Structure 1
Amino acid sequence: MLSLILSAELSGVTDLRPKDTEDEPYFFTFKVQCTSCRETHPNWVSFNRFEQHEIPGSRGEANFVWKCKLCQRTHSASILTSPKAYEADDKRKGQKIIDIECRGLEFTEFKPDGDWEAKGIESSTPFTGIDLLEGEWYDYDEKAGDEVAIKEISWELGRA
């Protein structure tokens, strides 16, 4: 099992999470590596937690099914939980966003493309369409009368 862990400095906002509903699923984007031959797929791969794909030669299904071009083995991964919100914390410690069950593959890098959302700590103002690709985000909370920010963003893929 693999966990996607986020660390960030949140100023004026909390409950940072990917916008992820059945109508508008969040596509998690990763670099993937075969654990059998260690071949890394040259492109980014994306999948969401709502789509299920049949695993060839099996009765099972998974969110992501991949056949390694080098060793020809079929591997799969499934997101086990809905994304957890990243809470504002002075210590800037890593918090788990999702857990992924991986079979025969390993995700080596995460790219936060897609929309994220958060809310104002004091005002509960919803902030949507947050883009984390640049590694930081700034806005203004009209109700609180103050700037809000997400900075020092880092991602880690760790064994759960």
Structure 2
Amino acid sequence: MLYVVLSASVSENIGRLTVKDLDSDPADYAFELVCTSCREKHDSKVTINRLEKHEMNGSRGEASFVMKCKFCGKDCSINLERTQEELYNLQEESNRELVEKTRVHRKKIGIKNVDASKAVLLALDCRGCEVLNLDYSNLIFDARLASGKVMEATFDEENEWYDYDDDAGEEVSVTDLKFDIVKAK
């Protein structure tokens, strides 16, 4: 099982950060893939959302993404599942209980090597392919401020976002946004 892990530095007035991924408006995640049989990299990014399901060859069920490697012809599939985690601001007192619940849940499912300052956003069950990278330029993020207000953030080519909270009269920012792919049991 592969997991997509989000890390970032958030300003002190941001309580939580997560990808805007709703049942009514699912996020499209763009991944770079490599075939595990021939090790050839897929020539373009593939876009997957968590609600789409496709039939797999040989009636083995459904997957979020199905393809045949154009180099070796092997079947590849990915099941994408969204976790309940968000990137929590560890300095905010109200997040302490949520961070502890997250730590316990990660231990239960075998994710031991991810720090509490990061969020495990997606679980990827990959068969015949491996995810190399997530392109976040098309994703919209919800930044939940300590005041309760929610602001939308986008990151084009840069890994930082700056805005101004008119209600509180202060700047909000997310810097050093980064996604990693980690393996766990």
- Shift, 1:83, TM fit: 5.2
Task: Tell me, in whole angstroms, the C-alpha distance in 1 between the residues paired with 2:83 and 2:38.
Answer: 31
Q: What residue in structure 2 maps to residue 116 of structure 1?
A: 141
Instruction: Tell me which moved more, 86-95 or 54-63.
Output: 86-95
Q: Residue 17 of structure 1 corresponds to which residue in structure 2?
A: 18
Q: Which residue of 2 aligns with 1:131?
A: 154
**Contact 1:8/1:92 (CA < 8 Å) preserved in 2?**
no
Look up the match of 1:97. Answer: 121
Q: Is the 8 A contact 2:89 2:117 kept in 1?
A: no
Q: Give the structure with the higher percent helix.
A: 2
- Counterpart residue number, 1:55: 56
Q: Does 1:85 find its partner at 2:104?
A: no
CA distance in 2, matches of 1:110, 1:38: 18
Residue 40 of structure 2 is matched in structure 1 by: 39
CA drift of 1:125 comes to 1.0
Residues 27-59 of structure 1, C-alpha deviations (whole Å, 9 max, x = no match): 111100111110100101111000100011233
RMSD: 1.7
TM-score between the two structures when normalised by the length of structure 2: 0.80
Whole-angstrom CA distance in 1 between matches of 2:10 and 2:90: 7
Instruction: Choose the corresponding residue for 2:178, options 141, 154, 157.
Output: 154
Paired amino acid for 2:140? D
Instruction: State which drifts further: 105-114 or 77-86.
Output: 77-86
Greater than 6 Å deviation, 4+ residue runs: none
Larger relative strand fraction: 1
3-state secondary structure, aligned to 2:87: coil
Cα 1:57–1:92 change in 2 (3 A) is closer
Distance, in Å, in 1 between the alignment partners of 2:83 and 2:28 is 12
Q: Retained in 2: the 8 A contact 1:136–1:152?
A: yes
- CA distance in 1 between counterparts of 2:90 and 2:135 reads 23
Corresponding residue number in structure 1 for 2:131: 107
> Contact 2:88 / 2:117 at 8 angstroms: preserved in 1?
no
> What is the CA distance between 1:154 and its match in structure 2?
1.4
Partner-residue secondary structure (3-state), 1:51: coil
Question: Residue 69 of structure 1: CA displacement?
Answer: 0.4
The gaps in structure 1 that reach 5 residues or longer are none
SS of 1:80's equivalent? strand
Q: Percent identity?
A: 35
